Amino acid sequence: MKRYEILAEDLAMQIERGVYRPGERIPSVRQASLQQRLSITTVLRAYVILESRGLIESRPQSGYFVKGRAQPSPAAELHVSAPLGTSAAVDVSELVLSTLRSIARDDTMPLGSPYPDAAQFPVQRLARHAQSISRRRTRWGVIDDLPPGNPELMRQIARRYVERGIAVEPDEIVVTIGATEAINLCLQAVARPGDTIAVESPTFYAMLHAIERMGMRAIEVATHPHLGIDLDALAGVLERERIAACMVMPNFQNPLGFQMPDARKAALVDLLARHEVPVIENDVYHELYYGDARPSALKSFDRQGLVLHCASFSKSLSPGYRIGWAMPGRFRDRVEKLKFLNTLATPAIEQLAIAEYLKHDGYDHHLRRIRRQYTQQSNLTSAMVRRFFPEGTRLSQPQGGYVLWVELPGGIDAMRLYQAALAEHITIGPGHMFSATGDYRHFIRLNYSYPWSEAIESALRTLGRLVHEMQPSGRS
């Protein structure tokens, strides 16, 4: 057993024997660290295990207490969103660009970053493959990079889908420059300027960027924090509005982190098929699941070719190479043509390097390590937010990916918090980047892909202090 597991078992036994009784405080993280001669991170991991087993609970600014068996946990879950239900022009790119620039600063803690920690990825192995490919093949031309993509990479991608239980042929795939290009191409294939696109609420801003770029409008649909887009609300929108397409993230949605149940995925595909509405599925986080089984995709339930499935290696293997793909169903030929017209090609060396890695270098072993790390860091970050932020703070419960969605209490302005945090060299993702209508102004998104450290704990403690200070007088 690892040291944090041993500590967790020791404390669990003491609670069982009544050494610590319900409602009593257990030693603080720092006290336990000194008493046991363990690092703070080790103690935190032990306490997270005890929390997950329902033995202890964190109370903001007070510490950890033994949880009474009959006591319900405080209501800290997010509510179902309630957007206005009217279409709107999209204008979020300027805000997103300014926040991304602040994240790029070397002196900030990147809790607001949308990107995973690249230091956890096999960058050197991929670079060696690229160098070897370049040495072996000295004559390159544009013809090597043309769509739909490198045949070997397409075969490797198709093989992973087959292992996931999704029947895919390599020639269904169009390789792109990241998932962002795949989403843009698919949207361009099914809709025109002025059309209205149905999206989740909140929704990932990269999808809003695509809508904004093409002069379209977005209508936000209520979304459950565990179950995904509200099918009844979407059905109502489809009845009263002319919807050109729907854009969703059924697996580990950014920012909510949910995994849509299979029955609801099937029902969503069926609902849209009845209305002949294409659905663009952003499945970029599908490899980063926390459970025991790979998640299904909307593509699994597609019988009419109306699901345009998009994904990439950027979040799971190589942020720098920007290799993604689309499986656009009945729109495949149009997407391939648009790929050629828009960017002509996707660099061949990067495609071949990833194909070589997938064949020889243990991608699944890498993914298992990343999943374990993200699961643990999700628990740690959630525990620290519950501990340091004021009462009334609500959290998402991510089932995969690496982002946490936080609802701040008392109507605190996330942009004001963003500016105050930046002055402390900490970045966060302000909530209204995730809405076409500027909602979620008292929400923030946090990135937990970076290995846990005292610096991250300190940053979360500072954020909690800033939120406390911004509360109206008389509240704590």
Q: If you write DSSP's letter for every residue of 133-196 in order, what string do you get? A: HHHH-----GGGG-TT--HHHHHHHHHHHHHTT----GGG-EEESHHHHHHHHHHHHH--TT-E
pLDDT, residue 141, reads 55
pLDDT, residue 1, reads 67
C-alpha dihedral sign at 385, 387, 390, 394:
positive
* Helix/strand/coil for 77: strand
For the chain, how far is it from start to end, CA to CA, in angstroms? 40
pLDDT, residue 267, reads 96
Asked if the bond preceding 27 is cis, omega within 30° of 0, the reply is no
Residue 328 gets the label, from left (phi > 0), alpha (psi -120 to 50) or beta, of alpha
Residue 83 sits at the vertex; the CA angle it makes with 280 and 422, to the nearest 5 degrees, is: 85
The CA-atom distances, in angstroms, between 107 and each of 68, 104, 110, 200, 423 are 43, 9, 9, 34, 11
pLDDT, residue 474, reads 47
* Number of neighbouring beta carbons within 10 Å of residue 214: 17
DSSP strand pairing (174-176 vs 324-327) = antiparallel
DSSP strand pairing (443-447 vs 429-430) = antiparallel
pLDDT, residue 98, reads 78
CA-to-CA distance for 158 and 83, rounded, in angstroms?
Answer: 37
Domains with residue ranges and CATH for the chain: 3-66 (1.10.10.10), 89-118+365-470 (3.90.1150.10), 123-362 (3.40.640.10)
| Nearest residue to 385 via CA among 446, 449, 341, 474 | 446
pLDDT, residue 470, reads 95
pLDDT tens for the 476 residues of the chain, in order: 678 888 988 898 888 878 898 889 999 988 999 989 999 888 888 888 888 778 898 886 788 999 875 443 444 678 888 887 788 888 888 878 877 777 767 688 999 999 999 999 999 999 999 999 888 876 665 566 889 999 999 999 999 999 998 999 999 999 999 999 999 999 999 999 999 999 999 999 999 999 999 999 999 999 999 999 999 999 999 999 999 999 999 999 999 999 999 999 999 999 999 999 999 999 999 999 998 889 999 999 999 999 999 999 999 998 888 999 999 999 999 999 999 999 988 989 999 999 999 999 899 999 999 998 998 899 889 988 988 999 999 999 999 999 999 999 977 999 999 999 999 999 999 999 999 988 999 999 999 999 888 899 899 999 999 999 999 864 55
CA-to-CA distance for 227 and 23, rounded, in angstroms?
Answer: 33
Which spans in 70-109 are helix H?
93-103
Q: Which amino acid is at 174?
A: V
Residues 441 and 410: beta-carbon distance below 8 Å: no
